[in-house]
Structure 1
Amino acid sequence: MSRLLTLLLTFTVCQTFGQTRTTQSVLWTHAQVKANWGSDWTLQQDFEEALYWFPARQHIFQERTLVTKGIGSGFRIGAGFVYFTQTLPNDPHVEGLATFRELRPILHVSHKWHVNEHWAIHQRLWPEFRFIEGFDTYEYATTRVRYRIMAQLAISDWGRLDLYDEIHVNTFRKSEVLTNRLDQNRIGFNLWYTAFKHHKFAAGYFNWYQERIPAGSFFNRHIVRLSYSYQI
């Protein structure tokens, strides 16, 4: 954990002193369905799409299936699968010329600590095993570790404010395409509103800072995020 926090600090410094930055605006939409069974199990399905603004063009689309189990003391473990596509090149001023696809089996470990009746600290670790589409098959490229720390503030009975920071680190790299170690950092917030008993909506913002090729250059993306969650 301390190693991940050190990498997070390193990436924050890189954000401040990066050599070359390409700034982009993105709209991110997210739909989620959750189903609980028994006292400990949860099935979660997520659909996410990111669109460039000014001019408008699709950036990414992904769908994720995740099964988790509570094991006590605020901990949950689980596993899932992600199908991911990205329209290339990463320039909204250029019409999409190709589609980059990945398959990602993932593992899940999380912990939630209730500080008091209003505040909670949530930590999540996601190792992602990334398989990139080749000419006739998908090939293993890297294992990316995602660590997120989030402060959650309960606001009366109608909603919640989430403040978070997440770092992505590539490990065990085998791909000549994915050569960066400190992949990206996301820092932002979401404001959740419970409209009905099983329906929640959220609006938020996050800054997505990602290393790119060549070394020393970065994407600096300003992202508005709109979410909907349904609890079965």
Structure 2
Amino acid sequence: MKLKIMANCAKRCFLLATFLLSAFNSFPQKEITNQSLYWTRYFNQLALSPKLTWHNEIENRRFFENNRQHHFIIHSRLHYKTFKRADFAAGFSYGRQSPHTADSEFRLSVPELRPYQEVSLTNTYGRRLSVQQRLRMDERFIKNNNGTELLDGYQFNLRFRYRLQASVILSKTGAEKLTALKIADELMINAGDGIVYNQFDQNRVYLGIEQGVVKGLAVELGYLNWYQQRPSGKQFFARDIVRITLHHKINLYKQL
């Protein structure tokens, strides 16, 4: 029975991505650029009370080719657990976007300011399987630029994100020795008057494994397939990404 539930959840995680990829593959004159990157990430969770948690992430994204910088981003948000399964959060991100190709002759780094809000709903099945649905809204303020230099003002872009993620505990020996498999699919849609061709922004499919090291510390290694539409509407990035994450959880309210 458990295996059947796990299989159904995995199918749900990949169903949306499969549909989108097959739909876009039918478009004529589509141009796809394949890229390989690696992301290194530090994810800190500070438990302030049984219901309130402060999450902080620092992530650096680089191309394997020429080891060129692609994106540096910091997230910070407060999570409030209103019900047993529901979680609401609000936060702010700051990013520096470098050119989207590793062979670009320019090195312009474009700032982005991003307030955002999200709601999550988590269901558990037995002691090993949990399925989370997350809906996030990004209010993106991207610095105006001409590709070679920054200009005055910011461009605004509203984006909606829906993620379905399944987590399966493979083994557990105490709180510090937990091993978990993660499968996720996230769809991002642009909105607003300035969006002409790329209402579909991107889709991310992820598979990773998290291993506890000591209490409060865990390491996660995963593969991310990132399929993104460019502003032209007919050009796409297909990215293969290796992501390494250091998870760090600190319970503050029990230490007071």
Deviation digits for residues 68-109 of structure 1 (CA, Å, limit 9, x no counterpart): 100113100010000011112x21122443122211100010
Residue 161, structure 1, aligned to residue 181, structure 2: yes
Counterpart selection for 2:108 from 86, 92, 98:
98
Secondary structure (helix, strand or coil) at the match of 2:237 reads strand
| 2:60 pairs with 1:49 | yes
Counterpart position of 1:174 = 194
Residue 246 (structure 2) aligned to one of 223, 228, 232: 228
Aligned to 1:143: 158
| Structure with greater proportional strand content | 1
Structure-2 change in CA distance of 1:132 and 1:173 (3 Å):
farther
Q: Could you list the per-position Cα deviations for residues 150-205 of structure 1 after superposition, in whole angstroms to 9, with x for gaps in the alignment? A: 111012112111100001100124368xx510000000112000000010100000
Residue 109 of structure 1 is matched in structure 2 by 119
Task: Choose which of 125, 128, 135 in structure 1 pairs with 2:138.
Answer: 128
Q: Tell me, yes or no, if structure 1 residue 70 matches structure 2 residue 81.
A: yes
How far apart, CA to CA, are the structure 2 residues paired with 1:205 and 1:127? 24
Q: TM-score, normalised by structure 1?
A: 0.90
TM-fit CA distance, 1:40: 0.3
| Larger Rg belongs to | 2
Partner SS, residue 93 of structure 1: coil
Whether the aligned pair in 2 keeps the contact of 1:68 and 1:108 (CA below 8 Å) is no
Deviation at 1:14, TM superposition (A): 3.6
Q: Is the 8 A contact 2:17 2:205 kept in 1?
A: no
**Residue correspondences, number:** 224
- Equivalent in the alignment of 1:13: 22
In structure 1, stretches of 5+ residues that fail to align are none
Between the aligned partners of 2:209 and 2:220, the Cα distance in structure 1 is 5
Residues 102-125 of structure 1: CA deviation (Å, up to 9, x unaligned): 111000100110012111101111
1:185 aligns with one of 199, 203, 207: 203
AA aligned opposite 2:38:
L
Report how far residue 7 of structure 1 moved: 7.5
- TM-score between the two structures when normalised by the length of structure 2: 0.82
Question: 2:73, 2:66 → 1: CA distance?
Answer: 21
Q: Compute the RMSD of aligned alpha carbons.
A: 2.0
